[in-house]
Structure 1
Amino acid sequence: MQRRFLFSALLSLSSLSLAGLAQAQAPMPLRVLTHSSFDLPKELLAQFEKDAGVRLQIVKAGDAGEMTNKLILTKAKPIADVAYGIDNTLLPRALAAGVVEPYTGPAAQRAAAVSMDGGVVPVDFGYVNLNIDKAWFAKKGLALPASLDDLAKPAYAKLLVVQNPATSSPGQAFLYATIAGLGEEGAFQWWGRMRGNGVKVVKGWTEAYYTEFTRNGGTRPIVVSYASSPAAEVFYSKEKITESPTANLFLKGGVFRQVEGVALVKGGNPAAREAAGKFIEFLRSAPAQQALQTTMWMYPAEAGAARVDVMKAHAVEPTAFDNPSAADVSAKNKAWLQRWTKTVLK
């Protein structure tokens, strides 16, 4: 009887030891909040998990604006340890809400092509601007607009589709470009003229590009998109093509440089803080910086990072852009959005 009791006790202790060992060896869960456009190759993410000893829990929270709102609304009980996709249009709001913490690791110390405030580490950047359907303009024999003022003329009535800046980060970026390039009063006068000229407003980039743009069966041959969109058209074409069917319009007041970053989430799991730092370093690593060019269609932030061929050939950067100051964005963004809504929609 005594031997049987000792044997059972040893079995119980052995089971507890094995359970503890398994728990000790289990990968650390890392909660990553991103916008819906976050996209890196599965094998690259799997290699990161293996190298870092973590298990990624990626939560996509819609558009970058929606993601930032979610981060702010869950401030009291954070749903993530690290967040990717806060851009320079949304960063003032995130910093004011106190939802991110500065990161000071190697990636934050290295030179970068772009910068961000508040200890947020830049990962990539791009340009929000107008894209045109080249075949549509060739068929109609209509000259391309040479300025934003041209777009408000009768010849270009009902040709432009934009995203609502209250619900879309590219829409907000384009609004900012008009304000920085035309001046606040000039910008809203232009928007008022565009309302009269039949500008179409949709919720987000997907609706604008894949529903309303003539390239995809819509009725609008001009769309607010990205400088890298022509390169994506070539990359994803079913037939092998050497020239993009779309082109960029880099007009004064119509180009905004968007910078996206990754940040530690304030109040995230302390046990996952080291893993969160590893994820930040991973996003600035050479493999991730190369991959994001043809998955998220942005330019790499790491200084000296090589551009992939399709981006070099079909995603030439503009020579100028119009960004308002961070101070103006922080102080005036709410008023700008209200005024835009009143001018364009009401």
Structure 2
Amino acid sequence: MHPTPPRRATTRPARFRRYAVPLSTLTVLSLAGCTLTGGDDESSTGDESSSSSQSAGGEVVLVTHDSFNLPDEVVSGFTDETGYELTVLPSGDAGEMTNTLALTEGSPLGDAVFGIDNTFASRAVEEEILAPYSPDQLPEGAPERALPGDLADYLTPVDFGDVCVNIDRTWFEREGVTEPESLADLTEPEYEGLFVTPGASTSSPGLAFLLATIAEFGQDGWQQYWSDLVDNDVRVVSGWEDAYTVDFTAGGGDGDRPIVVSYASSPPFTIGDDGEPTTTALMDTCFGQVEYAGVLEGAENEEGARAAVDYLLSDTVQAALPESMYVFPVATQTELPQEWEEHAEVAEDPLEIPADQVEANREQWVNQWADIATG
């Protein structure tokens, strides 16, 4: 993190609350798409069900989005506890992954899937790419993130991370520009050329932001809103990484846009090395996003796939999620890093669209958006 200059005291929108419990900092290790086997961790003993599965062994292929990034020791812990060898298969963004799985229905790429979010969940179930499975016991907090009705029989909540507009407060203070407070503000002349967002057709957070604008302005108003954004020189890029780390002024690069679509968990990562407060903050613009795991229909190792879903809800994985994948664990008893206690927030009343409405309209909305935003 880069040191940051002092800034004026600010207050946060009432719709946000702290998600706060302390935790010592976890070591973040990168995980490429590869096979990881268990080591000699003497602390991993497993329960009775784990012991029985150890005798079976075998490979479990977990299909994920490209942002899957649990530490090596956490992934290898799956082998320690179950006896199965986990192979991680990154398959693009959440939307691309879901589309690929739909095209391979009946002959799945793997055994289990992680990373289907609430914007694509109903499609995944309707395309019959998932086998029914729900763990016998969900950790406290997970039932509140479960999908409605029969969808919950196929997909299990693992993490969540509200998609919100982030602003670089240091930039606004330095330039003497009033900070925007609402989605409508982003179309005002003083914010021309200051906003960057990932695209709705190529990015899960980009789609979530599109849905936020539809929830905010309605079926009759969202297209005009996007036309106004385009007229105000919004920059649309392919994915979150480009938007945040390349174009955003506080993203670590040489960006020139102080307003970006990112996550509610982003501000803790702009804390200065000298202990100065985070330089970024959230606008009251959040859309709730939950990621799920499930067993793929036709899995070669269905028992191992179920074990993988269970493991994603374990204390070990839930504790690793914040600093390795920048999302909130669904298990509310999970302790969070100190930086998250101080700076990460959860929208108490996020913008939402029911899953069935998203499924019924997603393709049309994205096509209409593309006509406006990308010509």
Report the TM-score, using the length of structure 2 for normalisation.
0.80
- Counterpart selection for 1:209 from 244, 252, 276: 244
C-alpha RMSD of the superposition: 1.8
Assess if the C-alpha contact under 8 Å between 1:152 and 1:194 holds in 2. Answer: yes
Q: 1:92 aligns with which of 122, 133, 137?
A: 122
Residue 330 of structure 1 aligns with an amino acid whose one-letter code is: E
Structure 2 match to 1:66 = 96
Question: C-alpha distance in 2, partners of 1:107/1:333?
Answer: 32
Matching of residues 1-346 of structure 1 within 5 Å: 27-108=57-138, 112=142, 113-116=144-147, 117-119=151-153, 120-215=155-250, 216-234=253-271, 239-250=273-284, 254-269=285-300, 272-346=301-375
Rounded Cα–Cα distance in structure 2 between residues aligned with 1:109 and 1:41? 21
Q: What is the number of equivalent residue pairs in this alignment? A: 315
Q: What amino acid is aligned across from residue 76 of structure 1 in structure 2?
A: G
| Counterparts of 2:277 and 2:268, CA distance in 1 | 9
Amino acid of the structure 2 residue aligned with 1:155:
E
Between the aligned partners of 1:313 and 1:43, the Cα distance in structure 2 is 27
Q: Residue 346 of structure 2 aligns to a residue in which SS?
A: coil
Higher helix residue share: 1
Equivalent-residue separation in structure 1 for 2:137 and 2:71 (angstroms): 21
Tell which structure's C-alpha radius of gyration is larger: 1
Q: Which residue type is aligned with residue 337 of structure 2?
A: V
**1:163-222 deviation digits (Å, cap 9, x = unpaired):** 110110000000001111221222111111111110010010011111111122111110
Shift of 1:303: 3.9
Q: If the length of structure 1 is used for normalisation, what is the TM-score?
A: 0.87
Distance 2:103 2:97 in 1: 10
**Matched residues in 2 for 1:138 and 1:195: separation?**
25
Q: Which moved more, 1:39-48 or 1:121-130?
A: 39-48
Counterpart of 1:140 in structure 2: which amino acid? E
Letter in 1 for 2:320: A
Alpha carbons 1:123, 1:260 under 8 Å: kept: yes
Shift of 1:319: 2.6
- Measured in 2, the distance between the counterparts of 1:227 and 1:168 equals 17
- Counterpart CA distance in 2 for 1:289 and 1:133 is 29
**Distance 1:109-1:221 versus aligned 2 partners, 3 A rule:** closer
- Quick one: which amino acid aligns to residue 344 of structure 2? A
Would the aligned equivalents of 1:128 and 1:257 in 2 still touch at CA under 8 Å?
yes
What residue ranges of structure 1 are gaps of 5+ in the alignment? Answer: 1-23
Gaps of 5+ in 2: 1-53
